[in-house]
Structure formats: C-alpha cells, structure tokens
Amino acid sequence: MRLLLRIILPLPILALGFAVGWLAMHKWKAPEENLAPARSERPVQRAEVIPLERQDYQIMIRTRGVVQAKTETQLTPRISGRIESLHPNFQVGAFFKRGDILVSLDPTDSESQIISAEAQVARAEAALAQEEARAKQAELNWKDLGYTEKANDLVLRIPQLREAHANLKTAQAQLAEARRNKLYTKIVAPFDGCVRERLVGPGQSVGTNTQLGVIFATDYAEVRLPVSPKDLPYTPFQSQTTLAATPAIIRDGLTDHLEGDEQTWTAQLIRSEGVIDDTSRELFLIARIPDPYGLQSGLPPLRIGQPVLAEVQGNLLEDVFVIPRETLRGAFETLLVDNETFKLLRFDIEPFWTDSENFVVTHELPENHSIVASRIPHAANGALIEIIEPESDEPPVEAAKGPEDTSTTEA
C-alpha cells in the first residue's frame, strides 16, 4: 500500500509542473516581434545648404604690427646754459604746436657775448679806417718823393689793409654767432607733436650733449606690416605704383570689441622695405596712418606703441568657387547635395587660396549641387538630405495687441 502511494502521489505534482511550463512557453511568452526592436530604414537627414556657384573673391591679407612714429626727435640744446623755464605742455603725453618754445635757457651769457662782439666790431672798423688812411698817406708820400715807378704793396701798406679787413670780418662773424646763440636759448618745436619723454627741469644746467627730452610728430604714424612669402604671389605688391595705391584697414589689436562696435582706421601703403627678413623670411610693408591721435578728425586715438591688426587688399580672384571653411568635413573634403535627387556627395577639393574663413577653388565642381552648411551625423555617399531653410537670428515679431478697453458703461 505504501509503495503504491509513493508511486501515485508524485504524478499530480509532475502533471502540475508540466502544465505550468507549457503555459509559460505558450501563453505567457511575449511575441518575438515585440521583443526585438523594429528595423526600418535610416530617417532622412535635414540640413541647410549654400548655393554652389562661381563668383569673384577679393583677397584680403591679414597681418599685424605696432604703431610707430613717422618722425621722432631727441631734443638737445645747441649751446650750454641754465634752464630758465619750460613750456606748460612740455610734459609726457602733452601735445604742442610747431613754433612753441618748449625750453628757455637763461639769455644772460648770450647777451654779454653780443655786447662784447659789438665792441670788437667797433674796434675792427676803427682799425680799418685808420689803416685805410695810412695807405692813402703812404701813396701820397711816395709821389711827393718824386719816384716815377709804381710803389710796391709794402710801401702802400696793402698787407696791413688786408689784415684790417680780415679782422673786421672776424668781428662781424663773432657778432652774428653771438646773436644766433641768443636765439638758441629758445628751443622751439620743429613740428606739431607730442612729448614722449622729458628729462630735465627748471634751473638745471645743460650742455650741448644734454638730452632734454624725446618728441614725435602727430601728423602721421606708421605701421610695419609683415607679409609671408606664400601671400606675395596673390598681392599687388610687386611694383611701387600698385603698392602706393593699396589701402589698408587698421583695427585695434590690444582690446576686444563687440561685433559691430569695432573702430577702424584707414591707412595707405607707401613703400616696402625691399628686402626679405633673414629670420622670418617675410617682406615688410610700411603703412601710413594720417592723424593717428584724432586731433583733426575726432576719431579715437591710435597711440604710438599700440598693437594693431591690419587687412590689406590683395588681388581679385575672378570666376572661382568660395567654400566656407566651417562647412568642410575633413581637411580638404566638402559635402555636396544634388539639387534634384537630394543625394549626398563627398567631394575632395584642391584650394587655390585659403584664409581663416574660406577655401577658394578654381577647378571644376559638380554642377547643380549645393554645399551642405549643417553638421550631419551620417555623411555617407548617396544619403538622402532634406533641405531646410536657415534659421533667422531675429526673434519672431509678435502681433500687435490693441489697447484694452478700460471704459465702463453706465446703466
């Protein structure tokens, strides 16, 4: 009996287990198609495009330099003396006009020299008059003695007369020098300019080798602009005639400005240095800026020693393709899209000219294509592209609302 129970009792349990397993396999199992993700074709990618067409491109050579004074002078006196006074604007950074007396020396010594020289001239004139009288008397004496031959120079006192003339000229020259020295007590500004450095003060004794200060002219400033050898073939700098007709746009290179709020100055290329620098292998061009401190034009000042950025107009490239650098996918690969089939084409280009913004291409590119201007994740050849309009940077304009009616109606 017990043996029979051991055999019969496990049978319901096994049957129940098989039933549960069958239900788990067939009833509770999720459909296979629901477990696996649906597989479909990759969605069409959207991108903005730029028309691909030939156009003219103006080359701009970008370079930099430092503003320098066109004319800079070290002030030194021509005579020794003691400084009596200084011009109020003979201060570092102050401006002055041509003819202003920047430094005045004590004129006492010069006035004494003038008086002494005038006395010397008077003595020389008197000596000459006496010598002329002696010469005439010697000639009369010679005739009175009855000599028929002509008297020699010694008898007529010709050497003494010449000496008296020479002494008078020497005295007159010393007087002129004394008068010039008095003028030299006034150190006059040779041009309109600005004081870079002042090295003396009132009451100081100075000599002919003493440096009083450093001044520079403010009518023009100059900038030394380097041009790399690779840019030279594309520039009009091969002759002095074209160089003199080339403008340059100068921008401040010291501070950052907001876009559209950047001040510019117009310069004119006047010459090249004519030699290639041994170290950098660059050719230096000299650009001249009129009125750098804005004293006449009212523009913001462009100070001496200020770093600047410059754009120099180069050659005009005609009938070329211009590809923005930001649209390149690789070093020299651009993405094009067919305007009819909207299929993507990866195309390698060979640039004729490059700058920080664009690649300029002269060889042929596929016709009826546009440049992909957007970044797309999958850029396979033949991929379909949906062309979208570029987003506007301007905020949408809301419809104008009329004023609310705040009036009340009486019953």
**Residues 112-144: pLDDT tens digits?**
999 999 999 999 999 999 999 998 888 888 888
Tokens of 383: 């991929």
Instruction: Please identify which residue in the block is written with the tokens 């546009």.
Output: 370
Selected residue with higher pLDDT from 71 and 327: 71
Tokens of 335: 């993405």
- Give dist(CA 46, CA 378) in Å, integer: 11
Whether 187 contacts 84, CB under 8 Å? no
The answer on pLDDT for 10 being more than 50 is: yes
Helix (H) or strand (E) holding 52: none
Confidence band, pLDDT 50/70/90 cuts, at residue 29 = very low
Tell me the angle at which helices 108-144 and 158-183 cross, rounded to the nearest 10 degrees.
170
Angle at 70 between CA 66 and CA 76, to 5 degrees: 115
How high is the pLDDT of residue 39? 45
Average pLDDT over residues 172-191: 95
- Give dist(CA 327, CA 349) in Å, integer: 12
Look up residue 56 and give its DSSP letter: E
How high is the pLDDT of residue 339? 86
Tokens of 391: 């987003």
Whether 314 contacts 225, CB under 8 Å? no
Average pLDDT over residues 68-84: 94
How high is the pLDDT of residue 241? 62
- Alpha-carbon torsion (199, 203, 204, 206), positive or negative: positive
Provide the b/e sequence for 10-39 (b: ≥16 CB within 10 Å): eeeeeeeeeeeeeeeeeeeeeeeeeeeeee
Instruction: Please identify which residue in the block is written with the tokens 């007529």.
Output: 156
- Give dist(CA 82, CA 9) in Å, integer: 136
- Give dist(CA 321, CA 312) in Å, integer: 22
Average pLDDT over residues 200-214: 94
Helix (H) or strand (E) holding 188: strand 186-188
Query: For residue 49, which of 370, 391, 383 has the smallest C-alpha distance?
Result: 370
The answer on pLDDT for 171 being more than 90 is: yes
Confidence band, pLDDT 50/70/90 cuts, at residue 147 = confident
How high is the pLDDT of residue 243? 67
Whether 313 contacts 60, CB under 8 Å? yes
Q: pTM of the entire structure? A: 0.68
Average pLDDT over residues 234-241: 68
The answer on pLDDT for 394 being more than 80 is: no
Whether 86 contacts 103, CB under 8 Å? yes
Confidence band, pLDDT 50/70/90 cuts, at residue 6 = low
Average pLDDT, the chain: 83
How high is the pLDDT of residue 91? 95
The answer on pLDDT for 4 being more than 60 is: no
Selected residue with higher pLDDT from 329 and 33: 329
- Give dist(CA 359, CA 50) in Å, integer: 14
How high is the pLDDT of residue 232? 81
The answer on pLDDT for 378 being more than 80 is: no
Distance (Å) of CA 193 to CA 68, 218, 329: 13, 5, 54
